[in-house]
Amino acid sequence: MPRPHVYGTEAFTLRRIDYGEADRILTLFTPAYGKTRAIAKGVRKTKSRLAGHLEPFTRSQLLLASGRELDIVTQAEARERFEGLPGDFWSATAAWYIAELVDRFLEDADPHPRLYALFVETLRRLDAQASEPDHARSWLTLRYFELRLLDELGYRPGLHHCVSCDQPLRPEDQGYSPEMGGALCTSCMRYGARRFSLPALKVMRLLQTTEWHAVPRLRIESALQGEIEATLQATIRYHLERDLKSWAFLQLAPQQAAGSAPDRGHEQSAQGASGG
Pairing mode, strands 58-65 and 6-19: antiparallel
Per-residue model confidence (pLDDT) at position 190: 78
The contacts of residue 128 (CB under 8 Å, 6+ apart) are 84
Per-residue model confidence (pLDDT) at position 252: 86
**pLDDT of 2 over the 80 cut:** no
Mean pLDDT lowest among 73-77, 172-176, 264-268: 264-268
Digit-coded pLDDT (tens) for 131-172: 887 888 999 999 999 999 999 999 999 999 999 999 999 999
Our CA dihedral for 159, 163, 169, 174, rounded to 10 degrees, sits at -80
Per-residue model confidence (pLDDT) at position 265: 33
Digit-coded pLDDT (tens) for 253-263: 765 334 333 33
Per-residue model confidence (pLDDT) at position 1: 61
**pLDDT of 130 over the 70 cut:** yes
**pLDDT of 204 over the 90 cut:** yes
Pairing mode, strands 34-40 and 71-81: parallel
**pTM score above 0.85:** yes
Per-residue model confidence (pLDDT) at position 260: 35
**pLDDT of 271 over the 90 cut:** no
Per-residue model confidence (pLDDT) at position 112: 97
Per-residue model confidence (pLDDT) at position 261: 33
Mean pLDDT, to the nearest integer, of 17-35? 97
Q: Give the C-alpha distances (Å, rounded to integers) separating 255 from 121, 147, 172.
A: 21, 21, 31
Per-residue model confidence (pLDDT) at position 268: 44
> One-letter amino acid identity for 43?
V
Q: Give yes or no for a contact between 34 and 106, defined as CB atoms under 8 angstroms apart.
A: yes
Mean pLDDT, to the nearest integer, of 195-209? 97
Mean pLDDT lowest among 30-39, 131-140, 167-176, 264-273: 264-273
Q: How confident is the model at residue 87 (pLDDT cuts 50, 70, 90)?
A: confident
Q: Give yes or no for a contact between 199 and 270, defined as CB atoms under 8 angstroms apart.
A: yes
**Distance between CA atoms of residues 51 and 30, nearest Å:** 19
Q: Identify which has the larger pLDDT, 270 or 216.
A: 216
What percent of the chain has a predicted confidence (pLDDT) above 90? 81
Considering the chain, what is the average pLDDT of its residues?
90
Q: Give yes or no for a contact between 29 and 80, defined as CB atoms under 8 angstroms apart.
A: no
**pLDDT of 191 over the 90 cut:** no
**DSSP assignments along 202-264, one per residue:** HHHHHHHHS-GGGPPEEE--HHHHHHHHHHHHHHHHHHHTS--HHHHHHHHS--GGGGS---T
Mean pLDDT, to the nearest integer, of 95-113? 97
Mean pLDDT lowest among 85-94, 140-149, 163-172, 175-184: 85-94
Taken in order of first residue, the domains within the chain and their CATH numbers are 6-81 (2.40.50.140), 85-272 (1.20.1440.120)
Per-residue model confidence (pLDDT) at position 254: 61
